[in-house]
Amino acid sequence: MASSSRGAGKSLVRATLEIHQPPPSGSRTPGALMKSFNFDFNPAQLTIGRRADWKSSYAPVERDGPLPEFLGAHPRQMSVEIFLDSSDEPTANSVLKKVESLLTCCEVTAQSIANKRPSPPWVVFEWGSFSTARFTAYVASADASYTLFGTSGMPIRATCRLQLQEIPTKTPGQNPTSGALTAQRVHRVVAGDSLQALAWREYGDASAWRAIADANGIDDPNRLPAGTELVLPAAEEVRH
């Protein structure tokens, strides 16, 4: 299991856990950003694992055993511990609020119920240029240990343990015009942006704005507050 420390948190690049709405359809692209959880102290260690299934049919006539058959690979898993500390403000409830926001990653969101696709949030862990550890996942388990309390009983220090299970994405396709691999990305809305303009700029088709709206759970395309982060689906997802 991973562990955290104060020293690990002094890096200039902080790890983040983005908490998204689940997609409103069968898309594998996360929905609208609900919360960006910034680590107070970077993890001192991450545990990332993956396994594959093989099948062997033993036969008594083969002394060394038969050639195993590959059945498939499982998604990646990651274990991470998050250290929270507000001991310099013993009356604050920031630790409690942060723990509660992590625990809600295992609860069904109201928007997914309204979309008739009940699901807890999807999350994306990211830490600078450590691309191996960045993948879309769901929180398989979340546990918190409160280790220090203020005089009023308010928790002021805690360690949260998250188990993330990757949500596999489709193998990237190729853009027929450029031959380049396509992938989803995030766009921050600025004044004057519209879904139609973004769709034209990204995909060459203004009518593709519906794909952007679906990926971000947008009901009213005319309301795009500046600063909103939009997930732009990959071009092959829009074509499908």
Q: Is the residue at 171 inside a domain?
A: no
Contact 167, 125 (CB under 8 A): no
Same structural domain for residues 123 and 93? yes
Q: Is the residue at 180 inside a domain?
A: no
pLDDT of residue 239: 65
Q: Is the residue at 65 inside a domain?
A: no
pLDDT of residue 84: 93
Burial profile 99-137: b = 16 or more Cβ within 10 angstroms, e = fewer: beebebbeeebebbeebeeebbbbbbbbbeeeeebebbb
Q: Which residues of the chain have pLDDT under 50?
A: 1-11, 171-182
pLDDT of residue 24: 81
The CATH number for 214's domain is 3.10.350.10
Domain count within the chain = 2
Q: Is the residue at 172 inside a domain?
A: no
Same structural domain for residues 90 and 148? yes
Classify 56 as helix, strand or coil.
coil
Domain membership of residue 90 as a residue range? 7-49+74-166
Same structural domain for residues 143 and 230? no
- The position carrying tokens 């920031």 is 94
Same structural domain for residues 220 and 111? no
Same structural domain for residues 21 and 92? yes
Same structural domain for residues 122 and 15? yes
Q: What is the pLDDT of residues 168-217, one digit of tens each?
A: 865 444 343 333 334 567 788 887 788 888 888 777 788 888 888 888 88
pTM: 0.62
pLDDT of residue 170: 55
Q: How far is CA 114 from CA 24, 30, 108, 111, 125, in A?
A: 9, 17, 11, 5, 26
Q: In angstroms, rounded to a whole number, what is the distance separating the alpha carbons of residues 65 and 45?
A: 39
pLDDT of residue 96: 93
The CATH number for 109's domain is 2.40.30
Same structural domain for residues 117 and 190? no
Query: Exposed, middle or buried by CB within 10 Å (0-12, 13-18, 19+), for 38?
Result: exposed
Specify which residues 53 forms β-bridges with: 72
pLDDT of residue 2: 42
CB atoms within 10 A of CB 76: 17
Q: Is the residue at 63 inside a domain?
A: no
Q: What is the pLDDT of residues 148-157, one digit of tens each?
A: 998 889 999 9
Angle at 88 between CA 41 and CA 100, to 5 degrees: 60
Boundary residue ending a domain (166, 199, 225): 166
Q: In angstroms, rounded to a whole number, what is the distance separating the alpha carbons of residues 115 and 105?
A: 18
pLDDT of residue 74: 87
Sign of CA dihedral 124, 16, 193, 174: negative
- DSSP secondary structure code for residue 143 in this structure: E
